[in-house]
Chain A
Amino acid sequence: MKHRSLPLVFLLGGIAVLGSCSRENRILRQPPPANDTLNTIQISGLNPGANLIPTPPNSNMYQESAYAVSEGQKLYEEYNCVGCHAHGGGGIGPPLMDRNWIYGSEPGNVFATIMQGRPNGMPSFRNRIPEYQAWEIAAYVRSMAGLLPKGVSPNRTDQMNIKPAESSTPEQVPTGITGVPGQPK
């Protein structure tokens, strides 16, 4: 009888060894903010001389965690990003459901946009919100454009939903094609 349970034990053990899944990680206590994150973020590909500016710090911690993206979704509502960008469709501010982003679509770019503000209305949230929240919002904003895996993109909220959930946002034409921002449906 007992040997029958062995495969089960091995299987469960094997799954445990495979390690925990970063998608499910919930970072409740944030690491202290990095010094001078903003200055290391590259906004455009153009550089004087050789490409000396280091690449943006890796924010995978937030981009890969469903919990962080969901927090970003909540903060996006709460901090009234909706006021200008609506639920990704744009309004006063540009739409976020497409990928034609003036200041780049890498996590670091979005983060810098939030923290520094941009001309023509985008306010700076520096010192207004903690850095990790900006990373979470950046992760959520990228999920609206389908830039995050479906597994971490949030589904519908418990509010009125006037657009499809981020986890069912269709894959869009790759970036690089500049032109008219996509029309929200």
Chain B
Amino acid sequence: MAVAEAIVANDQDTGESELARSLARTWNQPKGVWGWFCNTHHTDIGIRFMVTAFIFLLFGGVLAVLIRLQLIRPENSLIGPDLYNQIFTMHGSTMIFLFAVPMMFQGFGVYIVPLMCGARNIAFPRLNAFSYYLYVGGALVLWGGFLTNTGPDVGWFAYVPLSGPQYSPGHRADIWSQMITFTEVSALGVAICIATTILRHRAPGMTLNRMPILLWEKLTISIAVIFAMPAVMIASGLLLLDRLVGTHFFNPAEGGDVLLYQHLFWFFGHPEVYIIFLPGAAIISTLVECFSRRRIIGYTPIVVSVVATGFLGFSVWVHHMFATGLPQLSESFFTAASLMIVIPTGVQFFCWVATIWNGKLQFRLPMLWCFGFFFVFLIGGLSGVMLASVPIDLQVHDTYFVVAHFHYVLIGGALFPMFAGIYFWFPKITGRMANATLGKWHFWLFFIGFNITFFTLHFLGLRGMPRRVYTYGPDMHWQGLNMLASSGVVFMTAGLLVFLINVFRSVRVGELAGNNPWGDAGLEWSMSSPPPPYNFLHIPTVSGRDPLWEDPPNQPVVVGLRDDIRETLVTHSLDADPQHKDEDPGPSIWPFLSAVTVSAAFVGSIFTPWAVPIGAPPVIATLIGWLWPRGQSPTPRPVGESWVR
């Protein structure tokens, strides 16, 4: 409420302040512990997603430190094979499923998409909240398992038959597959929310060809998620059936197929890489435009590239399986496809260079991270070109060369843009600027440490060190490089600590940011920081790609939305013409309760099939509570009345 009052105090127009007060009352989210679980507003859920995902980044980082400690010298006995296998599996699974996707796709998307669209809330806010709780459920299952010696130990990809019933006794692999189910249902839920928000809740005037690039990327990813996640859920579901019910999907002796699992897994696994990378590229596009102080060059080619990446991402999965001995012709096809996907990424790089070249670059902190991204991701992308070639891949596949490659791509493509984005949107999220000096320390420590660790791994891979080995012999000539690689961890850890100090400090005593500290063009900078619970006092309209730069002062706004109930505007999916009004369902405890019952059924099914019939009634009951008709429908509009004024 303090926020709303501050806005009111600044507002000269009494009518406007009356409206703000009324909207704040209507859109207010309940307070207290109970209220915390009822909250369905996208900024709150988005922040929760991001904070939780960041905690898991730290957890995964601790595991990474343990891995580097174990490998620091040959025949190290710090960690035995049993624990080491759990640790590297947990590291991969945590970073991919509990950090990268929830942070880059879910958290960031849920926070920023409605603000960029000019909407008061995300579409299906309860589904959105449900997705968050389900994600937390999956995370707790995985880490609860790990802390009770039930951490999965079969790799983050869990290839059969190693993860099958015979070679993975106990419930370790079950925990992994059920965690997949949790996080993928969560990602699917958010994908539906984000795609619907983008397609149906854009501000009038924001036609498809005026949509910010970031929204294009979010839309592409959402659709990619909707197609990719079912594949891995089938894979992990069949694996669970094999393990718990005794089916034979992957039993070679009874006609099952171990390669089928790999196809299903990588049909998801490769698009997953783009699901993680595209949000990063979207952040970079936004920042390059803002700090070059000019429109981005090549809007259309970039958008085409983004959509093409989303499609092509589905046609390259076999390059993870070159060593399985597929026919040469099909391998050549997938080499070509894998090389082709370089082109859209190249287009984006060239457009960024051109924009910077023709613009007036402001070298501020987020831009420093952008340049970190350019350097790191470039190396990762180029080593990816090598891996697309079948003969080279056959040599370096499953070695530390690949480990180096995908850390360059994923840390370069997700973590560097993430930090750029955090520093960029930090004032919007918290209302205060992050400290730039600490931010620079953070950058240089992290950048140097990262390159020490991971550039070295290329050479280890070329010297033939396979992945996922818990130790190695002294005569393999790997120890010096491993020692060097491990030393970089110190810098990265220090960098992350500086970042944490910066965040905790800046949230309290940072310089007040104001609405638009960077002078950016996006709609999210038009309201106060942090955004009020209703986001926009008036739903805006836009007349160009860069609203805050281009729109005239008398740009019309949407009228006719009631301020005493949570009315939202639904627009046409192509040209964003207003079509009708909808009502936001508002805060509710039911998404949380549903997530709890669903989680209970999921987890219980690991231990007994009875969990399915016993767990179903509570799930149904909570769903009934969730979907119980409230008997309110939006007030119909008089025909012919204008939507904007």
Contacts and interface: CB of A to CB of B under 8 A. Distances in A.
Touch A–B, Cβ below 8 Å: yes
Interface of A: 1-2, 4-5, 8, 11-12, 15-16, 18-21, 23-26, 28, 66-67, 69-70, 73-74, 150-152, 154-161, 164-165, 167-168
B237 interface: no
A16 B164 CA distance: 26
In the A-B complex, the 6 residue pairs with the closest CB atoms: A70-B169, A155-B165, A66-B170, A20-B149, A66-B169, A16-B147
Nearest to B430: A1
B8 interface: no
A150 B245 CA distance: 12
Contacts of B166: 70, 73-74, 154-158
Nearest to B55: A5
B237 to A, nearest CB: 16
Contacts of A8: 52, 55, 136, 140
A156 B170 contact: no
A168 to B, nearest CB: 6
A156 B252 contact: no
B55 A165 contact: no
A21 B171 CA distance: 11
A156 B169 contact: no
A160 B251 CA distance: 8
Contacts of B527: none
Interface of B: 36, 47-48, 51-52, 55, 80, 82, 136, 140, 143-144, 147-150, 161, 164-167, 169-172, 242-246, 248, 251-254, 504, 507, 607-608
Contacts of B143: 12, 15
Nearest to B83: A26
A2 to B, nearest CB: 7
Given A28-B82, A155-B165, A23 B243 contact: no
Given A11-B140, A154-B169, 11 more contacts: A21-B149, A21-B150, A28-B80, A67-B169, A150-B608, A151-B607, A156-B165, A157-B166, A158-B164, A158-B167, A160-B253
A11 B136 CA distance: 12
Nearest to B148: A21
B251 A156 contact: yes
Nearest to A156: B246
A156 B248 contact: yes
Nearest to B168: A70
Contacts of B171: 23-24, 66, 151
17 contacts: A2-B504, A4-B36, A8-B136, A11-B140, A12-B147, A15-B143, A24-B172, A69-B169, A73-B166, A150-B608, A151-B607, A152-B170, A156-B165, A156-B242, A156-B246, A158-B164, A165-B246
A15 B147 contact: yes
Contacts of A157: 165-166
Given A21-B148, A151-B171, A156-B246, A1 B251 contact: no
Contacts of B48: 4
Contact of B246 (A25, A69, A155): A155
Nearest to B153: A26
Contact of A1 (B148, B170, B253, B507): B507
B170 A67 contact: yes
Contacts of A155: 165-166, 242-244, 246
A161 B245 CA distance: 13
B144 A12 contact: yes
A21 B144 CA distance: 11
Contacts of A164: 246
Contacts of B51: 1, 4-5
A56 B246 CA distance: 34
Which of A1, A73, A74 gathers most chain B CB within 10 Å? A1
Which of B55, B166, B248, B504 gathers most chain A CB within 10 Å? B166
Contacts of B147: 12, 15-16
B148 A158 contact: no
A156 B143 CA distance: 27
B80 A15 contact: no
A119 B55 CA distance: 63
A20 to B, nearest CB: 4
A12 B507 CA distance: 27
A15 B144 contact: yes
Given A5-B51, A66-B170, A161 B144 contact: no
Contacts of B161: 158
A19 B144 CA distance: 11
B254 A160 contact: yes
Contact of A161 (B36, B148, B246, B607): B246
B252 A158 contact: yes
Nearest to B140: A11
A121 to B, nearest CB: 29
Given A154-B166, A155-B243, A24 B47 contact: no
A156 B244 CA distance: 9
A18 B167 CA distance: 27
B108 to A, nearest CB: 16
Contacts of A150: 608
B603 to A, nearest CB: 12
A11 B140 CA distance: 9
A158 to B, nearest CB: 5
Contacts of A67: 169-170
A24 B55 contact: no
A24 B244 contact: no
A167 B169 CA distance: 11
B148 A16 contact: yes
A150 B172 CA distance: 15
Given A1-B47, A16-B147, A28-B80, A168 B55 contact: no
A70 B607 CA distance: 17
Contacts of B245: 168
B423 to A, nearest CB: 17
Contacts of A152: 169-170
A21 B146 CA distance: 11
B97 to A, nearest CB: 16
A67 B82 CA distance: 12
Contacts of B144: 11-12, 15
Nearest to B51: A1
B149 A25 contact: yes
A125 to B, nearest CB: 23
Which of B140, B150, B165, B171 gathers most chain A CB within 10 Å? B165
A160 B255 CA distance: 9
A156 B256 CA distance: 13
Which of B148, B170, B248 gathers most chain A CB within 10 Å? B170
Contacts of A4: 36, 48, 51
B286 to A, nearest CB: 24
Nearest to A165: B246
Contacts of B507: 1
Contacts of B172: 24
A103 B136 CA distance: 51
Contacts of B82: 26, 28
B55 A158 contact: no
Contacts of B165: 154-158, 165
Nearest to A153: B169
A143 to B, nearest CB: 11
